[in-house]
Amino acid sequence: MKKVSVRRAAVAVAGLAAALAFVPAGFAWDITVLSNRADLVSGGDALVQIELPKHADLSSLRVRLNGDDVTSAFAVRSDGEYVGLVTGLVDGKNQLRATMEGESPSRITITNHPIGGPVFAGPQVQPWICKNTANGLAAQTDAQCNAPTVFSFRYMNATTRTFQAYDPASPPPAASIATTTTDQGVTVPYIVRVERGVMDRGIYDLAVLSNPNAPWQPWASQSGWNHKVLYQFGGGTAPHHSNGAPISNLVDMALSRGFMVANNSLNTRGQNSNDVVSAEAVMMLKEHVAETYGSIRYTIGAGCSGGSIQQHVIAADYPGLLDGIQPNCSYQDSWTTGNEVGDCHLLVHYFATNPGFTPTQQTAVMGEQDTAPATTVCALWEATFASVATPFLASNCDLPPGPPVYDPVTNPTGVRCTPQDYEWWVWGLRPDGFAKRPSDNVGLQYGLGALERGTITPEQFVDLNADIGGVDIDNQFQTARTVADPGSPRTAARTGKVTDATELAKVPIIDLRGSHNTLDIHSDYHSYVMRARLDDANGNHDNQIIWTWRGGPGLFQGITPNANIALKSFLLIDRWVGAIEADKSHKSLEKKVVADKPADAVDSCFVGATDTQITDAATCSATYPYYADPRIVAGSPWTEDVMKCKLRRLRPADYPFPFSSDQWARLQTAFPDGVCDWTKKGVGERNSIPWLDYSTVVGGKPLGDPPVSH
């Protein structure tokens, strides 16, 4: 989906007659919705441009919305375009019709959706708790949490260099307000307008340099905004049935340069683990910006952990919403990272009940750096996120214990607090009414790499795979392996829940990695899983660079960059995306991303107290090595994009050590249908389909071409 903007006239306009005189011959008598696709509009308004016929007679021009005259909303703006903000759209289809004497009428259908959503994400989860009053808003006026939007101001104190409250009715002394010069060379008082409201049932924030005493119009933006957006994404993973606080947008390095900073609480994955809803929230907020503040040149993403997942998935599944991304402490997607969590959950349980493995042997099976006897990455996954898949934990849903939350005995039809049930419209339902689950470990040979290296014995390998078991649909241990529900692996691939890197070639990626192979769940190897997917899908990873520095000594310590590295990344991604914007050649976007890549956009590592930047690959790989996970040790390729593997028969010749007849019989019992054949694509594996619409179809359908005027 292309970003929207008001087209700029080639000449200055000195009155209506001059504007019309310079309309080139052959201009179409077209109506264009600028703020979004005409079929994805929300909130009851749309920014619309009418391209006038040659020698147009505006005195006879009439624009009607569903039969009502809205001509007064339009005018020739300072850039020479005939543009208006059309309000009063009803939910559903609206007819916007323009007529003029001597010309055939032109019309376009605008499909409007409620500001509370949904647009394309499908039915919204219920129940939903509005936490407006706890987050600076009035109580909700309806079930969608809608409430009046509030505006406030902050200023940068010239002495303390901190943001402080600004009251337009009683402003602080002018000398105490810092000034800032944007990247467009505009110097303004450093005063920031903060807008907070409700959209798609989430709470959103916008922050931008602003003169408190001047208006905003979409065709007359204030000079402090450079028409760029830094969009923030938050970490975690949880299927909350509530809204919450958005991330603070008081980001000095962006605001001081003229960027708008934005996010919705639905873009914090620790509140909303449905990435389709997250993408919808981005689209709706960008539409609001275009209709209120003006055109957006480009949007750059930022965010760590769950925030990195959203950047990867949204850029891949809803291309055009983000023009450049900075995934930090990154994961490639949620569901294949979930495979690591699930495998660790089983291994931690197995090792606790089978003490015959030394700590070094355990880390070899897990694919981790040998830190024996320190805490393993798997143990940290067990302590932090393994329970997210447990449906009867009300805390997963941010709901109080008891009804309406599911209980397998007392409330079997209640709300199930799992990621798949939270987005059941993506996965579809099982016969029991639960959402389908794509998790699977059938045929997985745990510890295969450790066996091949001689770190574990054949007997340990056999016992591990005979007894590892799986989990049932309630995330409870069972002796049988975990089996994906029919069709769910195909859905995972088709919907982009397993990130397909094809569309990612259209965005610059700076992967920010605070090196953490121990004592944290953000293991370095995830950056290289995404790199492997880029190579597999596109034949190269020229649009991705990885920057690594030393993480801190404990869980979640040092995983985000310090101010120096963060600023370097921000300025580089801005230069990179800006160069692509300025490239008016006929090259494809994928080729522009590579052709316009700055010379200093290269893999780097930062060492020492001064963050010395090193670009030598050998030095960086020696300083910051990366490891793997249990599934890679079991033979998975580095793409790690297989939810359910295809199987081949057991063959003694495939193993470096002979098994006894008893051991071989136990292996055959453990793998009655065979073991994973990693030379083949996974079950149901296929390319994803961008811009799926879930509004009417379980599993989604392609959105199709945007509406045009007739």
Identify the DSSP state of 4. P
Tens digit of pLDDT for each residue in 605-619?
A: 999 989 999 999 999
Same domain, 399 and 523: no
Of 623, 656, 690, the last residue of a domain is: 623
How many whole angstroms separate alpha carbon 54 and alpha carbon 573? 41
Confidence class for position 83, pLDDT limits 50, 70, 90: very high
Tens digit of pLDDT for each residue in 180-232?
A: 999 999 999 999 999 999 999 999 999 999 999 999 999 999 999 999 999 99
120 and 280 Cβ atoms separated by less than 8 Å: yes
445 and 677 Cβ atoms separated by less than 8 Å: no
**364 pairs with which residues across the strands?**
none
Tens digit of pLDDT for each residue in 20-65?
A: 233 333 345 899 999 999 999 999 999 999 998 877 889 999 999 9
- 505: tokens are 């070639």
- Chain-centre distance for alpha carbon 130: 23
Residues with Cβ within 8 Å of residue 635, at least 6 apart in sequence: 445, 448, 449, 676, 678
How many whole angstroms separate alpha carbon 306 and alpha carbon 35? 28
Tens digit of pLDDT for each residue in 565-599?
A: 999 999 999 999 999 999 999 999 999 999 999 99
Q: Is 607 helix (H, G, I), strand (E, B) or coil?
A: strand
pLDDT reading at 552 higher than 80: yes
Q: Is residue 693 part of a domain?
A: no
528 and 310 Cβ atoms separated by less than 8 Å: no
Residue tagged 């800032």 (tokens): 180
Query: What pLDDT is stored for residue 579 in this prediction?
Result: 98
**234 pairs with which residues across the strands?**
268
Domain count, the chain: 4
Direct distance between the N- and C-terminal alpha carbons of the chain, in angstroms, rounded to an integer:
21
Same domain, 197 and 240: yes
How many whole angstroms separate alpha carbon 191 and alpha carbon 363? 52
pLDDT reading at 648 higher than 70: yes
How many whole angstroms separate alpha carbon 693 and alpha carbon 121? 7
Q: Is residue 516 part of a domain?
A: yes
pLDDT reading at 3 higher than 50: no
Report the range of poorest mean pLDDT among 157-166, 521-530, 545-554, 669-678: 545-554
Query: What pLDDT is stored for residue 13 in this prediction?
Result: 25
Confidence class for position 548, pLDDT limits 50, 70, 90: very high
- Expressed as residue numbers, the domain containing 588 is 500-623
Q: Is residue 392 part of a domain?
A: yes
500 vs 510, 531, 535, CA distance in Å?
18, 12, 11
Same domain, 198 and 266: yes
- 363: tokens are 């880390």
Residues with Cβ within 8 Å of residue 616, at least 6 apart in sequence: none
Of 113, 146, 172, the last residue of a domain is: 113
Share of residues in the chain with pLDDT > 70 (%): 96
How many whole angstroms separate alpha carbon 307 and alpha carbon 91? 32
- 503: tokens are 């569309």
549 and 560 Cβ atoms separated by less than 8 Å: no
Most confidently predicted of 9-13, 548-552, 581-585:
581-585
Residue tagged 């295809």 (tokens): 646
Phi, psi of 464 (to 5 degrees): -60, -50
DSSP 563-604: HHHHHHHHHHHHHHHHHHHH--SS--HHHHHHHT--TT-S-E
How many whole angstroms separate alpha carbon 184 and alpha carbon 74? 29
Residues with Cβ within 8 Å of residue 499, at least 6 apart in sequence: 312, 313, 316, 317, 332, 333, 530, 533, 641, 688
Identify the DSSP state of 272. B
Q: Is 50 helix (H, G, I), strand (E, B) or coil?
A: strand
- Chain-centre distance for alpha carbon 382: 24
Same domain, 273 and 411: no
269 and 202 Cβ atoms separated by less than 8 Å: no
Residues with Cβ within 8 Å of residue 135, at least 6 apart in sequence: 196, 203, 243, 244, 245, 246, 265
How many whole angstroms separate alpha carbon 309 and alpha carbon 426? 17
27 vs 17, 20, 31, CA distance in Å?
17, 11, 12
Same domain, 519 and 534: yes
Measured at the alpha carbon of residue 474, what is the angle toward residues 469 and 475, in degrees to the nearest 5?
A: 45
Phi, psi of 654 (to 5 degrees): -80, -5
Q: Cis (ω within 30 of 0) for the bond into 118?
A: yes
Instruction: Give the pLDDT mean for 227-252.
Output: 98
119 and 283 Cβ atoms separated by less than 8 Å: yes
pLDDT reading at 380 higher than 50: yes
- 603: tokens are 């893999």
3-class DSSP string for 387-451: HHHCCCCHHHHCCCCCCCECECCCECCCECCCHHHHCHHHHCECCCCCECCCCCCCCCCCCHHHH
Identify the DSSP state of 232. E
For 33, half-sphere exposure in the C-beta direction (CA atoms, 13 angstrom radius) is 28
Q: Is residue 314 part of a domain?
A: no
Work out whether strand 41-42 and strand 106-113 pair parallel, antiparallel, or are unpaired.
Answer: parallel
Query: What pLDDT is stored for residue 424 in this prediction?
Result: 98
671 and 635 Cβ atoms separated by less than 8 Å: no
Same domain, 153 and 273: yes
Confidence class for position 267, pLDDT limits 50, 70, 90: very high
Pure H helices in 149-302 = 252-255, 275-292
pLDDT reading at 2 higher than 90: no
Instruction: Give the pLDDT mean for 167-183.
Output: 97
- 467: tokens are 């007894």
pTM above 0.75, yes or no: yes
Buried b (16+ CB within 10 A) or exposed e, 443-476: bbbbbbbbbbeebbebebbbbbbeebebbebebe
Burial class of 253 by CB neighbour count within 10 A (0 to 12, 13 to 18, 19+): middle
Same domain, 640 and 665: yes
Q: Is residue 242 part of a domain?
A: yes
Instruction: Give the pLDDT mean for 226-241.
Output: 98
Same domain, 75 and 190: no
Instruction: Give the pLDDT mean for 678-696.
Output: 97
- 610: tokens are 């001064």
- 637: tokens are 């390729």
Same domain, 39 and 138: no
Region at 397 (left for phi over 0; alpha for psi -120 to 50; beta for the rest): alpha
Query: What pLDDT is stored for residue 28 in this prediction?
Result: 57
Same domain, 399 and 510: no
176 vs 187, 195, 291, CA distance in Å?
16, 23, 33
How many whole angstroms separate alpha carbon 569 and alpha carbon 676? 40
How many whole angstroms separate alpha carbon 282 and alpha carbon 229? 11
Q: Is residue 611 part of a domain?
A: yes
A 10 A CB-CB count for 136 gives 13
Same domain, 263 and 143: yes
Which amino acid does the sequence have at 59? S
pLDDT reading at 545 higher than 60: yes
Average pLDDT, the chain: 94
Instruction: Give the pLDDT mean for 478-495.
Output: 98
- 156: tokens are 């940068």
Instruction: Give the pLDDT mean for 341-362.
Output: 96
How many whole angstroms separate alpha carbon 367 and alpha carbon 628? 5
Q: Is residue 166 part of a domain?
A: yes
How many whole angstroms separate alpha carbon 360 and alpha carbon 366? 10
Same domain, 24 and 46: yes
Tens digit of pLDDT for each residue in 416-443?
A: 999 999 999 999 999 999 999 999 999 9
100 vs 21, 50, 105, 670, CA distance in Å?
17, 12, 7, 77
Identify the DSSP state of 271. T
DSSP 293-326: T---SEEEEEEETHHHHHHHHHHHHSTTS-SBB-
Q: Is residue 570 part of a domain?
A: yes
